[in-house]
Amino acid sequence: MDVSETWEHLVQDGGSIVYVIIDGMGGLTDPRKGGTELQIAHTPNLDRIARGSSCGLLEVVGPGITPGSGPGHLALFGYDPLTYTPGRGVFSALGIDFALNQGDVAARVSFATLDREGRVVDRRAGRIDTETNRRLCKKIREAVKLDYEGLFFLETVSEHRAVVVLRGKNLGSRLRDTEPPRTGAHPLEPLGLDEDSKRTASIVRSFVDQARDILSDQERANMILLRGFDTYAPLPSLESRFGLRGVCIAEYPMYRGIGRLLGMRIESPPADIEASFRALSAIYGKKYDFFYLHIKEADSSGEDGDFERKVKVIERIDRLLPMVMELEPDVLVVTADHSTPVCMRSHSWHPVPLMIHSRVARVDEVDTFDEYACMRGSLGIRPGLHLMGLALAHAGRFMKYGA
Amino acid sequence: MDVSETWEHLVQDGGSIVYVIIDGMGGLTDPRKGGTELQIAHTPNLDRIARGSSCGLLEVVGPGITPGSGPGHLALFGYDPLTYTPGRGVFSALGIDFALNQGDVAARVSFATLDREGRVVDRRAGRIDTETNRRLCKKIREAVKLDYEGLFFLETVSEHRAVVVLRGKNLGSRLRDTEPPRTGAHPLEPLGLDEDSKRTASIVRSFVDQARDILSDQERANMILLRGFDTYAPLPSLESRFGLRGVCIAEYPMYRGIGRLLGMRIESPPADIEASFRALSAIYGKKYDFFYLHIKEADSSGEDGDFERKVKVIERIDRLLPMVMELEPDVLVVTADHSTPVCMRSHSWHPVPLMIHSRVARVDEVDTFDEYACMRGSLGIRPGLHLMGLALAHAGRFMKYGA
């Protein structure tokens, strides 16, 4: 039995838990700078909190596995990301704040360019801008007529990316992607693999055919390609599994979507990092037990390969952390959903620094918060899935196991 | 789901990986020498590579488990040795370079001594020498006539050990060992547990009876005992699982057998350690992605209890390592399939030192390559099964997991 299932049987009432998730915080050494982003950043508050914490490293999803944002967060929240695997279509819809209903079928959409023979020559339609995307989605929405008793939604994500959602009875999502595996090939016909999915495939076919007609006057974005079909079902909530009434503060929609997936209450999006911390202070209190604060910019600056900006973002977060300490939560966790080393300009598999600040933490000798200092911490290096159990334990939320 | 199964869904094309497996490299401190074999050996190159690597320790098969060569290597190659369990008969045949076909049934053979009442008094026949073994195998092969449409092979391993292989239609391997569990007992009758195995048992019975007659003039080796029946089926290859076109350079047949089991191309056996490294340099290039170099002598000297020799072997390997560094592989892994502490004269369960050298490794503070320094490495102590995932990740051979 997976250990995270055992936890559910031990849950009792207890103290408050705050997760500060600094997206993409872990990095690698830049020899020219003489350290990692986190080492170079001036972080007196992170370091001070580390001196009162148990520290360690989390291998968020698994050895060598580079977590996407969805699986990375699921692991941190105690949901085994190899077991809980919402599809890409669902994450796309959650990622634009789309309020999915149980049973909705979602898929990713790419605007693409077909040549005269109908072959895909650019599966990003020359990366059309988001405004063009919005205009084309609206145009399609207004013209398409589908012959079924249900609804369809077509929503812009950004650039060439959009998401389609079908809502109705007896829909299936065991559908083949219509995006061909390589450019130069024709789009694939929608193909359903079971009864419900076959019916759904015929709706999708009609949708795609009409969209193609509607887009026929476009030079670049003259087709849509669909992939990652999935049926939405909310996961067992944080409250049902761990008795936690959770609340999510996140500037970016993807992370609010993850909060929604786990049954958290979603705060209205803060405008920036400062506003995110202020929002936490404002709602902190008895109404919730679990506070999820997500900061995106460390990841974005890592993906942009901007060492200086990543350092600045970390320093900005550092200056705001006293606001969290003033709330005196029973447990404060600071960690990341994955590393985003500036030199790789992408998510990576490298373990992320972790600290658990609590009155009952086994405080170790780690006195600065970074990838190397945390190696010597009392939590060692461990799977991301362990975190929620440790957080609950430090909050006094677990009964003894057995007599 | 096991994490190594997840890897298969993430595989993409990427860089080259070199595994240098120093068999039995890990050891224990000899108080008279003041360190382990690896600590006492002068290893400037291993240490230099460590200074540019992520280091750690591998618990190759599991806590307290002393790996045989087969399971030890399977773990390092990303095959869970508790799931993939080729039988001992198959490993014996692979271990002498015998080219098994799918469906072949193999078993281990021991020449043994029976007393006048037919009881086993020495299950090693006084450890007859390998030459005698060869002569007796030939004698049996030439005289035995089996009444079935198929082939049988009887091949010397060494001393009293040999291997028998049956090749034909509808053979089974759910057969009881004929070697009794203790000396003083009679050999057991071959006993098949299903239809095919019953038919196979009757062939084996005829074979053993005839062999006993043929050996009746021998004083010591007057009987053969069989155990570890197994049907050969190649494992899913490194290429099918991880997209790796692998090649194996190994002086000893057992390790070429493991390479063959995983679908690697097998280089002709090098004459010694130097020739092994030269062979790697000669074949290194675009034709393969994965290079498995196996060095046996650290294990042999450990099993012989020869501290000085084990130190010398390690130093010899150290002097050759620059040849590998000159190839500039994307990932260089140096580790072992198990420890063989000189003071134990046997394989042991103690974790083995590991380093992963790569441009994207999180280089740690480990500056010498040994059992103690590696404890402070960034990879921590972890299961052997993790290694392949980490190697693939460092070679850029994994896509992101999830959105």
Contacts of A351 in chain B (CB under 8 A): 362, 378
Contacts of A350 in chain B (CB under 8 A): 362
* Residue A83 touches chain B, beta carbons under 8 Å: yes
**For residues A17 and A289, is the Cβ–Cβ distance under 8 A?**
yes
- pTM for the whole structure: 0.90
Lookup result for tokens 């020495």: B122
Q: How many CB pairs under 8 A join A and B?
A: 92
Q: What is the mean pLDDT of residues A365-378?
A: 97
Six token digits for residue A379? 């939590």
Report d(CA B183, CA B114) in Å as an integer: 10
* Residue B382 touches chain A, beta carbons under 8 Å: yes
Residue B1 pLDDT greater than 80, yes or no: no
Q: What are phi and psi of B279, to 5 degrees?
A: -60, -40
Mean pLDDT, chain A, integer: 95
B21, B28, B89, B94: which is closest to B60 by C-alpha? B21
B365/A372 CB distance under 8 A: yes
| Facing residue for B402 by CB, picked from A28, A81, A371 | A81
Report d(CA B20, CA B314) in Å as an integer: 12
**Band of the pLDDT at B329, cuts 50, 70, 90?**
very high
CA distances to A62, A383, B8, B56, B82 from A349, rounded to whole Å, are: 8, 12, 16, 16, 25
* Residue B3 touches chain A, beta carbons under 8 Å: yes
B217 contacts: CB under 8 Å, gap ≥ 6: none
B147, B127, B163: which is closest to B209 by C-alpha? B147
Looking at residue A234, its pLDDT comes to 85
Map residue B25 onto helix, strand or coil: strand
* Residue B6 touches chain A, beta carbons under 8 Å: yes
Six token digits for residue B368? 């010498």
Q: For chain A, first and last CA: distance in Å?
A: 20
* Residue B12 touches chain A, beta carbons under 8 Å: no
Q: Please tell me which residue of chain B has the smallest CA distance to A254.
A: B403
A66/B1 CB distance under 8 A: no
Looking at residue B4, its pLDDT comes to 83
B393/A29 CB distance under 8 A: no
Q: What are phi and psi of B175, to 5 degrees?
A: -115, 140
| Facing residue for A91 by CB, picked from B6, B386, B403 | B403
**Band of the pLDDT at B171, cuts 50, 70, 90?**
very high
| Facing residue for B403 by CB, picked from A83, A88, A341 | A88
Residue B106 pLDDT greater than 90, yes or no: yes
B386/A63 CB distance under 8 A: yes
| Facing residue for B401 by CB, picked from A57, A67, A350 | A67
Q: What is the mean pLDDT of residues A371-388?
A: 96
Contacts of A349 in chain B (CB under 8 A): 390, 393, 398
Percent of chain A with pLDDT over 70: 100
Mutation target to probe the B interface, by most B beta carbons within 10 A, among A349, A371, A379 is A349
Q: Please tell me which residue of chain B has the smallest CA distance to A347.
A: B400
* Residue B402 touches chain A, beta carbons under 8 Å: yes
Looking at residue B254, its pLDDT comes to 87
Contacts of B390 in chain A (CB under 8 A): 63-64, 349
Tens-digit pLDDT profile for residues A167-184: 999 999 999 999 998 899
* Residue A2 touches chain B, beta carbons under 8 Å: no
Nearest-neighbour CA in chain A from B73: distance (Å):
18
Contacts of B1 in chain A (CB under 8 A): 82-83
Residue B88 pLDDT greater than 90, yes or no: no
Looking at residue B2, its pLDDT comes to 72
| Facing residue for B378 by CB, picked from A61, A69, A375 | A375
Map residue B236 onto helix, strand or coil: coil
Q: What is the mean pLDDT of residues A78-88?
A: 90
Nearest-neighbour CA in chain A from B380: distance (Å):
6
Looking at residue A1, its pLDDT comes to 63
Kindly report the number of other CB atoms within 10 A of residue A400's CB atom. 6
B331, B359, B352, B369: which is closest to B51 by C-alpha? B369
Q: What is the mean pLDDT of residues B122-141?
A: 95
Looking at residue B361, its pLDDT comes to 97
Tens-digit pLDDT profile for residues B223-261: 999 999 999 998 999 999 999 999 999 998 889 999 999
| Facing residue for B400 by CB, picked from A82, A91, A347 | A347
Looking at residue A286, its pLDDT comes to 86
Tens-digit pLDDT profile for residues B262-295: 999 999 999 999 999 999 999 999 899 999 999 9
Contacts of A58 in chain B (CB under 8 A): none
Burial environment of residue A111 by CB neighbours within 10 A (0 to 12, 13 to 18, 19 or more): buried
Nearest-neighbour CA in chain A from B30: distance (Å):
27
**Band of the pLDDT at B376, cuts 50, 70, 90?**
very high
Tens-digit pLDDT profile for residues A101-119: 999 999 999 999 999 999 9
Residue B107 pLDDT greater than 80, yes or no: yes
Would you list the domain boundaries of chain A? 3-86+235-394, 92-231
C-alpha torsion sign, points A234, A239, A241, A244: positive
| Facing residue for B400 by CB, picked from A66, A95, A381 | A66
* Residue B365 touches chain A, beta carbons under 8 Å: yes
Map residue A79 onto helix, strand or coil: coil
Q: Please tell me which residue of chain B has the smallest CA distance to A65.
A: B401
**Band of the pLDDT at A227, cuts 50, 70, 90?**
very high
Residue A247 CA neighbour count, 13 Å, CB half? 20
* Residue B278 touches chain A, beta carbons under 8 Å: no
Tens-digit pLDDT profile for residues A248-277: 999 988 899 999 999 999 999 999 999 999
Report d(CA B392, CA A148) in Å as an integer: 47
Q: Please tell me which residue of chain A has the smallest CA distance to B389.
A: A64
Residue B399 pLDDT greater than 90, yes or no: yes
Domain A92-231 bears CATH identifier 3.30.70: yes
Contacts of A63 in chain B (CB under 8 A): 3, 382, 386, 389-390, 393
**For residues A165 and A225, is the Cβ–Cβ distance under 8 A?**
no
A65/B7 CB distance under 8 A: yes
Q: Please tell me which residue of chain B has the smallest CA distance to A74.
A: B402
**Band of the pLDDT at A195, cuts 50, 70, 90?**
very high
A67/B365 CB distance under 8 A: no
CA distances to A52, B21, B27, B73 from B303, rounded to whole Å, are: 48, 17, 11, 18
Residue B319 pLDDT greater than 80, yes or no: yes
Classify domain A3-86+235-394 at the CATH topology level: Alkaline Phosphatase, subunit A (3.40.720)
| Facing residue for A64 by CB, picked from B378, B389, B402 | B389
Domain B3-85+235-394 bears CATH identifier 3.40.190.10: no
Nearest-neighbour CA in chain B from A287: distance (Å):
31
Nearest-neighbour CA in chain B from A351: distance (Å):
9
Map residue B359 onto helix, strand or coil: coil
B403/A28 CB distance under 8 A: no
Residue B191 pLDDT greater than 90, yes or no: yes
Residue A357 pLDDT greater than 70, yes or no: yes
Looking at residue A60, its pLDDT comes to 98
Residue B91 pLDDT greater than 90, yes or no: no
Report d(CA B91, CA B98) in Å as an integer: 10
A91/B362 CB distance under 8 A: no
Report d(CA A383, CA B6) in Å as an integer: 15
CA distances to A2, A13, A392, A393, B127 from A10, rounded to whole Å, are: 14, 10, 10, 10, 59
